[in-house]
Amino acid sequence: MADIKVPELAESITEGTIAQWVKKVGDRVEKGEFIVELETDKVNAEIISEEAGVLTQILAEEGDTVLVGQVIAVVQAGEGAAPAPVAPVEVTPAPAAPQAAASAPVATSVVEESTGERVIASPAARKLAREKGIDLAAVSPVDPQGRVRVQDVSAHGTAPVVAAPVVTPANGPVVFAPASETDRVTIEKMSRRRQTIAKRLLEVKQSTAMLTTFNEIDMTNVMALRKRKLEQFVKDNDIKLGFMSFFTKAVVAALKKYPYVNAQIQGDEIHLNNFFDIGIAVSTEEGLVVPVVRDANSKNFAEIEKNIAELAGKARDKKLGLNDMAGGSFTITNGGVFGSLMSTPIMNGTQAGILGMHSIVQRPVAINGEVEIRPMMYVALSYDHRIIDGKDSVGFLKTVKELIENPEDLLLNS
């Protein structure tokens, strides 16, 4: 018999949340087989079984917080050991508030999937389904991969509208008391990662003297160069030539020219980084993650594009490791892929700067005294004013602008 414990993932991680069991009690488990997904502050980890046998007990449910070293399941050696009996869980409804007592629904017991097959669903969706007494197997997911989410559970069926009772105070205007919470508000618990993102962004805002400066870039030349080289680039490197490699190269060149933008404060010291590990912000279902392109200064365009594509794929598949996100010196985020025209990005952790890219928009601009329509992009640099002055911040952004507008110069910096 083998206990399945929460492994030590990193020194800073002491707990996690059970995201999803991929095996259920009674299932056959092979040695080294992935049986449960654990969500931590930084990454999702796959916990495997160290022994072949049968999963006889699950000691932590999806959505539960578990500690490093805690036993969360038991695997018994053998081909088909009977599952250990599980004590029934009694669900006690919470007492209703006095005003909503007449209309608040009574809490329901847990409803298991009637088909007996495992339904892939987020912990929040399972919780909401239990509260509403909905069979997850009957819910039609929007996700093409079949994962049931909170929105799917909320949209399942049509609940009758409960009229809000009218409360008339002795002296004063008529007040409409709200109906039960589930009628007008869907309450979803923040994931562990979302809580961490919120906490860290707030810490950055409160602990730094953050300021943002803007500029605009004429994308005509880089778009023309990309169009000319795209077919041959794909043929030679088996990957598309995107704008991120151009901006990464431009950022590295600008960081070399303005080293304080590549620095960070440690106590009363300024640490000037002599390496160029560039974080690339990637949007996932759980929130923004920032995997790092290591030693971007020593990589060519194809290597940068492949590295970014690999990290983005791992982020979407929840395969990022702690080493993929640790130790970046500067970050690039591209809100333009979502249609953002302008924003003030928040710095990442203890870094001193972050570059925000935005949508490319055809706009009229003055060129040599004539008005022309050009593809323009606003860029923003948010920086820590404690160590970066206006001269360096403006100079950094101007350098990025000049290199992107004259992309052949980037080849000289490669």
Q: Which two tokens stand for residue 25?
A: 């009690």
**CA 294/CA 296 separation, integer angstroms:** 5
Euclidean distance between CA atoms 111 and 138, whole angstroms: 11
CB contact at 8 A, 234 and 240:
yes
Query: What is the rounded distance in angstroms from the CA atom of residue 404 to the CA atom of residue 76?
Result: 61
- Report the alpha-carbon angle 32-123-349, nearest 5: 85
3-state secondary structure of 236: helix
Backbone angles phi, psi at 45, to 5 degrees: -110, 140
Query: What is the DSSP annotation of 88-106?
Result: PPPPPPPPPPTTTTTTPPP
Supply the DSSP string of 99-167, one letter for each residue.
Answer: TTTTTPPPP------TTSSPPPB-HHHHHHHHHHT--GGG---SSTT--B-HHHHHHSS-PPPPPPPEE
Alpha carbon distance 380, 8 (integer Å): 39
Of the residues 64, 236, 317, 389, only one is catalytic, namely 389
Count H helices, E strands: the chain? 10, 21
How far is residue 314's CA from residue 121's CA, in Å, rounded to a whole number? 20
Structure tokens at 97: 């508030």
CB under 8 Å to 132, separation ≥6 — which residues?
108, 153, 182
Query: Tokens 């796959």, residue?
Result: 46
Q: Which helix (H) or strand (E) element contains residue 272?
A: strand 269-272
Given 64, 236, 317, 385, which residue is catalytic? 385
3-state secondary structure (DSSP) of residue 72: strand
The answer to whether residue 389 is catalytic is yes
Phi, psi of 77 (to 5 degrees): -60, 145
Both structure tokens of 264: 């960070």
Q: What whole-number distance in Å separates Cα of residue 14 and Cα of residue 67?
A: 6
Contact 290, 281 (CB under 8 A): yes
Residue 384 designated active-site = no
Q: What are the CA-CA distances from residue 45 to residues 324, 358, 408 (Å)?
A: 13, 32, 42
Residues taking part in catalysis: 385, 389
